Amino acid sequence: MKKMGYIITVSQASSFYADGVSHVEKDDTCSIYDSDTEATAAAEKRGYKFIRGMAGIMDGVYLDTQQNRNLLTKMLRERERKYTSLPRKASIVETDKRIHYFDKNGYELYPDDIIIWDSGKEEKLYLSCEGELGIDATNPAQIECGYALPCEHGLYPLTEYDLSEISKKF
């Protein structure tokens, strides 16, 4: 049987993936892909569909099935109920599973969200390998010219900024 270089799996107690929700990971028994992101892109080219445009969920991570959508919706509702008592405006709160970031209006920030600084500048948020949100450190001119890819030079972590100066764009 030919290996595809990726597997369809479900995580439990992962620091990144939602529990019980199917997704693609690189197959560590072969070295076809260097990352889960590359493996997911390959699976998508082979016809697998991934959830996109679901508020609070990073695009292209989870397989687009009704069961996954139901699980993620339930998870988001539970998270919202659990964290409504947290100090929310312009804060960073660490919990047992991950770090939660809140803008100056109390909205939780997620990877791929666009934030607006008080100056009017807009920037996209990315998730680091360490599970922290950050802003692309790569020079935008290098990206536009094709000399670099987004996040090629790392991220500036949100922990280094005053969150009372940013709002989530809707």
pLDDT tens digit sequence for 55-83:
888 889 999 999 999 999 998 888 777 66
Q: Tell me, yes or no, whether 100 lies in a domain.
A: yes
Residue 1: inside a domain, yes or no?
A: no
pTM above 0.75, yes or no: no
CA 2 to chain CA centroid, Å, is 31
Residue 139, pLDDT score: 93
Identify the domain boundary among 46, 79, 112: 79
Do 91 and 22 fall into the same domain?
no
Tally Cβ neighbours within 10 Å of residue 107. Answer: 17
Judgement on whether residues 74 and 103 belong to the same structural domain of the protein: no
User: Dihedrals φ, ψ of 122, to 5°?
Assistant: -110, 140
Q: Of residues 10 and 89, which shows the higher confidence score?
A: 10
DSSP string across 43-86 = HHHTT--B--S-TTS-TTSBB--HHHHHHHHHHHHHHHHHHTTS
**Boundary (domain end) residue, out of 79, 102, 118:** 79
Give the range of the structural domain holding residue 13, as residue numbers without chain letter.
6-79
Total tally of structural domains belonging to the chain: 2
Average pLDDT value for the chain: 89
